[in-house]
Amino acid sequence: MLDVCLLGTGGMMPLPQRHLTACMIRAEGTSLLIDCGEGTQVALRLQGWSFKSIGTILFTHMHGDHVAGLPGLLLTIGNAGRTEPVVIYGPKGTARVVRGLMMAAPELPFSVEIQETGETEYKAGALYVRTFRVDHNVPCLGYRVELKRLPEFQPDRAREQGIPLRAWNPLQKGNTVVIDGVTYTPDMVLGEARKGLSVCYCTDTRPTPSIIEGAKDADLFICEGMYGEEEKKSRAREYKHMTFREAAILAKAAGVKELWLTHFSPSLMRPQEVLGEAREVFPNSYAGRERMTKTLRYDDETAES
């Protein structure tokens, strides 16, 4: 099970009823925040999710509407009692900007590690993160966050092979176990690979093939739609953003299950009214709303489990 919350939907500047685009993902005790514009902590407070548990912050890029909320957020995480380290990832240039922002939050009860990355993969607690380059006017990354699912444990096979009971649990979790000099490997007791859960988050960018690759078959694709109407496409091109239709074309090409549009221009006051632009191309498109939340579940997982 994986929870996603789109904390805000604004691009450029926060508005009285619209926080800046940021996204929080939680799964199996891991909390990860993507982007942190001015006021993100207010949106998170309204959502009621824990500050203390945030151990990873991913930045798409270093524009103010995605980073200016960091010092306040870190102070609030500290006030919430966190002492474990926080790791901040972002594209080239992140360390300089983050260190500058952190001068306004010099005394934190936890350490902060900054990692600049290009296209790569890493693990953040229970979640796997894949980064890919997108096309903005500064270095910018798209993120795919996945909760992988281990294959099904087959107790009959474990019994047949006489595998000691105390090895079952670690094997089930994918770990190799050695007991009395005998090595037991997960493939001895695990079945076919099973599909995990994936969220892809992309803003700010023009459409790129890397996005289609990064969002491939994602359960949820959160993509910028700075401009609603297709007439604004030349503006979108000029400022390195996208229209709703362009985002929907990516969603369709990537074969995602659902598209949430976000990072709306402050001039786009009612994105819902132009959602048809996206739905003509990709019917399962939604205009992001403040604190829009979804719980993703494995194919055979029920709401109660």
**Residue 8 or 72: which CB sits closer to Zn ion?**
8
- Binding flag, residue 207, Zn ion (CB under 5 A): no
Q: Which of 65, 219, 246, 277 binds Zn ion (CB under 5 A)?
A: 65
**What is d(CA 272, CA 212) in angstroms, rounded to the nearest whole number?**
24
Q: Which of 63, 82, 144, 232 binds Zn ion (CB under 5 A)?
A: 63
Q: How many residues does the chain have?
A: 305
Residues that bind Zn ion (rule: CB under 5 A) add up to a total of 4
**What is d(CA 33, CA 199) in angstroms, rounded to the nearest whole number?**
13
Cβ atoms of 36 and 70 closer than 8 Å: yes
Least Å distance, CB 205 to Zn ion, is: 9
| Piece in contact with Zn ion (CB under 5 A), picked from 3-11, 79-87, 124-132, 189-197 | 3-11
In whole angstroms, how far apart are CA 72 and each of 51, 67, 69, 133? 12, 11, 6, 28
**Residue 35 or 146: which CB sits closer to Zn ion?**
35
Which residues are registered as beta bridge partners of 20?
Answer: 10
**Residue 57 or 167: which CB sits closer to Zn ion?**
57
**Contacts to Zn ion from residues 89-108, by CB under 5 A:** none
Q: Which of 11, 39, 214, 228 binds Zn ion (CB under 5 A)?
A: 11
- Binding flag, residue 18, Zn ion (CB under 5 A): no
Two structure tokens written together for 278: 């996206």
| Piece in contact with Zn ion (CB under 5 A), picked from 11-19, 166-174, 213-221, 293-301 | 11-19
In whole angstroms, how far apart are CA 88 and each of 91, 241, 268? 10, 24, 31
- Binding flag, residue 204, Zn ion (CB under 5 A): yes
Least Å distance, CB 222 to Zn ion, is: 13
- DSSP sequence for 138-181: S--EEEEEEEEEPPPB-HHHHHHTT--HHHHHHHHTT--EEETT
Least Å distance, CB 38 to Zn ion, is: 12
In whole angstroms, how far apart are CA 1 and each of 29, 170, 194, 197? 11, 20, 14, 8
Least Å distance, CB 54 to Zn ion, is: 21
Residue 65 among the catalytic residues? yes
- Catalytic choice (3, 35, 65, 219): 65
**What is d(CA 141, CA 200) in angstroms, rounded to the nearest whole number?**
11
- Give the number of other CB atoms < 10 A from CB of residue 295: 13
- List active site positions: 65
The residues binding Zn ion (CB under 5 A) are 11, 63, 65, 204
